[in-house]
Structure 1
Amino acid sequence: MFKKILVPVDGSETAWRALNNALEIGKKFESEILVVNVIQPYNNAALLAVPLDHATINQGNSELEKVGDKVLELAKEMVGSYPHKVEYDMEVGHPSERIIALSKKVEADAIVLGSRGLSGIAEFFLGSVSSKVSQYATVPVLIVK
């Protein structure tokens, strides 16, 4: 049923719970797991109020990549001796867009991700990654609280 499960991780507590849930589901269905960390880079458009020079932006992006590498290393430790294939990937871009695109590209059968709900009015205007993924994904989505 679930041959390949995509699990986005960002280092949050809910992401780790989602990874644990995906591993449990994966054991039952003998699923391949793809763990992904999505980096949303700094850019001038996102920082209109405080324009930064190119070198500062590149340094910030480099730091984000280092954090992403650490998150994936922690994921590898959590996965441990999972009995089936596990792959790790880092994507760059808007998280919900990259997660949805990657799920199509790798032909994932499900997405398991943590909820990092924004509260109140911020969520109304911005929406959360988990909300957007659940709305636009073409495969089942499990949101772990």
Structure 2
Amino acid sequence: MFKTILVPVDGSAHAEKALGVAALLARASSATLHLMTVAEFPPDNIGLFTGGTAEPFSEVEREKLAEGMKQEAHKVIEKARAAVDLAGIEVKEVTRQGRPADLIHEEAEKLGADAIVMGSRGVSDMRGMVFGSVSHKISHIASCTVITVT
């Protein structure tokens, strides 16, 4: 049935439920799970988000923030692993930085994924309502099966 399943995780309850479904599918078909999290790019200017003035980051500050975001992304994968029994399943991890929908799609293509199993809503529900959810975008652009879990 499935040999390669990509599971994007973002720390949300929906992502953890999706990982549980993906684990069941992986066990039933001896598939490899690829856990993926995406750290978005740091904003060019954090002042506006904190109610301050529009002062650009220095390159050093931007790199420091990006590294912190990558570390937080790795913690998301660790949290997902702890929430679901993955014993007996081959699990690989990938952390990327950029736009989630684009990178999930690219990773699925690179892996030749048979399926993407993901939560229907992530940690940024409000942003998703304004810009369109990542799962919605993936369901329209992926060339493989996409399973969204609520």
Q: How does 1:91-106 map to 2 (within 5 A)?
A: 91-106=96-111
Partners of 1:138 and 1:92 lie apart in 2 by: 22
Give, in angstroms, the shift of residue 47 of structure 1. 6.3
Q: Which residue of 2 aligns with 1:14?
A: 14
Q: Which residue of 2 aligns with 1:116?
A: 121
Partners of 2:58 and 2:74 lie apart in 1 by: 25
Partners of 1:33 and 1:81 lie apart in 2 by: 9
Identity value in percent: 32
TM-score (norm 2): 0.84
- Poorly superposed stretches of 4+, deviation over 3 Å: 46-50, 78-81
AA aligned opposite 2:6: L
TM-score (norm 1): 0.86
Partners of 1:54 and 1:34 lie apart in 2 by: 32
Matched, 1:53 2:58: yes
Aligned residues: 142
Provide structure 1 residue ranges, at least 5 long, that are not aligned to the other structure: none
Q: How does 1:57-72 map to 2 (within 5 A)?
A: 57-72=62-77
Partners of 2:13 and 2:86 lie apart in 1 by: 21
AA aligned opposite 1:99: I
What RMSD, in angstroms, separates the aligned Cα atoms of the two structures? Answer: 2.2
Give, in angstroms, the shift of residue 43 of structure 1. 4.4
Q: How does 1:23-102 map to 2 (within 5 A)?
A: 23-44=23-44, 50=54, 51-102=56-107
Provide structure 2 residue ranges, at least 5 long, that are not aligned to the other structure: 49-53
